[in-house]
Structure 1
């Protein structure tokens, strides 16, 4: 259930115009009534320093929050950053979004670019980690001094993989300005998390499209096609209407496939 525009007007009037634009984009995408938890994962590597200092990342988070109000009536988004490691920094709500990016990243040092840890950290944060692998069975027991007939090893109880579809899918807005340090680990991780009810919207800033994100968008080994890539260049130069349209592109297709594969209800 979407957060009403009346409530947004009362609690976060500075977000109202964005919420209206987001609402229109959701209407056009046919996603009215769809519930989803929205998260943002921002590249916190050294090359992103200017984007943070200029306020571009704060403005992007506000747009993500406006979109989240159309999918979840709690008025919150989960905020992650990734550099050499990924970290969950907390929730951003319609009550405290002003200056939230600076507040939550204050005191952190920028590092390199680790996509894989971001994928796995976010999956685990939302409770979609697979069951822990079972320990190998103990070696067969024999009689005294290793002689005699071998005794059967005890059988560990099987732990079935979760099969209950999730009530609410997760939509992750993942923004970066460069390829990861370890591309093979990123491919492996995105493939691994394709069994979780999470859709990854990759955005890149900069003058050129990112070949590696295009590769992630077209991986064939995944359980479902769980990602879409859109280059946006300058966050502040693109219109809000176009940005929201890009943010929602392929999300409806993923929802259909995820339901077919019993990832979501």
Structure 2
């Protein structure tokens, strides 16, 4: 159930305009009444320093929170970052969103770009870990395994929508491919966004992987976070999410 605009106006008036625009995008996508848990995973590599210092990541998180109010009435999102490793930094809610990105990342050093750890950390955080550890090969790398069954025995009550933003390819592309394939058995949809002047070939590759249990990701280049209109951004955020929900239900990942 969506959080009412009246409650948002009362508790977080600074989000009201964004929530109205998000509501319109949800209407257009045909997702009225859909429930989902929303999370954000942000690249915290050194090349992102300027984007954080400009406040652009804070503004993006506020837009993700506004979208979350349309899918979940708890008024909160789960906040993850990934650099050399991934980390869950806590919830951001309509009560404490102001300055939340700076507050939660304070004291953390920027690193490299580890997609694989982000995929697996987020899956495990939401309780969808595989029942048995995947086999490993030389040097401890995960072997590609046939993806044929859901991660859980019964459909999940709520799907998870993850907004995943980066400005570059990962340190280890093969590990990222294996991890995204592995987490395709979990009820998680990954919305990849890239910033920068050009689209990212590796994210396009992840968007079109064929070995997955379901097509669990979509990629949209957005360039400058602050240059794109809110309406266009919300529409991009929702692209292919309805298709994934249908496929996930057909394969008993979600109710």
Per the normalisation by structure 2, the TM-score is: 0.93
1:247 paired to 2:241? no
1:9 paired to 2:30? no
Cα-Cα RMSD: 1.3
Unaligned runs of 5+ in 2: 135-149
Q: Quote the Cα distance in structure 1 between the aligned partners of 2:151 and 2:159.
A: 18
Distance apart, 1:133 and its partner CA: 4.6
Distance apart, 1:262 and its partner CA: 0.3
Aligned residue runs from structure 1 range 56-71, under 5 A: 56-71=56-71
Q: Which residue of 2 aligns with 1:222?
A: 212
Distance 1:221 1:245, change over 3 A: same
Q: Quote the Cα distance in structure 2 between the aligned partners of 1:192 and 1:10.
A: 42
SS at match of 2:87: strand
2:194 to 178, 182, 204: 204
Q: Which residue of 2 aligns with 1:122?
A: 122
Equivalent pairs counted in the alignment come to 241
Higher mean displacement: 4-13 or 160-169: 160-169
The superposition leaves residues 18-68 of structure 1 with CA deviations (integer Å, 9 ceiling, x where unpaired) of: 000000000000000000000000000000000000000000000000000
Q: Quote the Cα distance in structure 2 between the aligned partners of 1:216 and 1:196.
A: 16
Q: Which residue of 2 aligns with 1:86?
A: 86
Per the normalisation by structure 1, the TM-score is: 0.90
1:184 paired to 2:174? yes
Q: Quote the Cα distance in structure 1 between the aligned partners of 2:81 and 2:4.
A: 29
Question: Contact between 2:152 and 2:186, CA under 8 Å: does it hold in 1?
Answer: no
Q: Quote the Cα distance in structure 2 between the aligned partners of 1:161 and 1:81.
A: 24
Q: Quote the Cα distance in structure 2 between the aligned partners of 1:133 and 1:200.
A: 22
Return the index of the structure with the highest Cα Rg.
1
SS at match of 1:31: coil
Distance apart, 1:162 and its partner CA: 2.8
The superposition leaves residues 161-192 of structure 1 with CA deviations (integer Å, 9 ceiling, x where unpaired) of: 63200000000000000000000000000000
Q: Quote the Cα distance in structure 1 between the aligned partners of 2:131 and 2:189.
A: 21
Q: Which residue of 2 aligns with 1:95?
A: 95
Q: Quote the Cα distance in structure 2 between the aligned partners of 1:226 and 1:216.
A: 9
Q: Quote the Cα distance in structure 1 between the aligned partners of 2:152 and 2:218.
A: 25
Q: Which residue of 2 aligns with 1:28?
A: 28
